[in-house]
Amino acid sequence: MISEAELIGAWNAAGQDRLGPDGRVSGAVGAGAPGRIIYTEGHQLMVISVARDDLPAAPAERLDEAALAAVARACTAYAGRWELVGERLLHHIDIAIFPAWMGTTRVRFPSLAGDLLTLTTLPEADGCVTRIYWRRAAD
């Protein structure tokens, strides 16, 4: 089980995938998609990540509605407080890219192997979980 001290710091996105109840892996996103999550000693957290590495590179004001929607669908951005309760890592969201996320809690199951942090979601209706990988950022 991971400790609070091991969690504290900055982590860079290292990919993600979906694991089915049958053990099959799908939806893999490579380490090239940008992202960072930060856990502070004061139990603050901030995350911003983009689940795709093929989005338009133009400034937002030059994107059409379809391109803006694609960026929004690929982006996760929120901040709030975190707490470790047993094997569960709780992200209590105060501010987010989507207002409906504010006031909610995301549950993750963390594991650590060397400098690779894996955050696993609760199972979805189809039994799949998403595994989000983060590599400790250099100081």
Tokens of 51: 């689940």
Query: What is the rounded CA–CA span in Å between residue 82 and residue 74?
Result: 23
CATH number of 4-136: 2.40.128.280
Sign of CA dihedral 47, 77, 92, 131: negative
What residues does each domain of the chain span?
4-136
pTM greater than 0.85: yes
Please write the tens of the pLDDT for every residue from 19-70.
Answer: 999 999 987 776 677 899 999 999 999 999 887 666 767 787 888 888 888 8
62-95 residue pLDDT tens: 888 888 888 888 889 999 999 999 999 999 999 9
DSSP string, 43-108: SEEEEEEES-S-S--S-GGG--HHHHHHHHHHEEEEEEEEEEETTEEEEEEEEESSGGGTT-EEEE
- CB contact at 8 A, 109 and 86: no
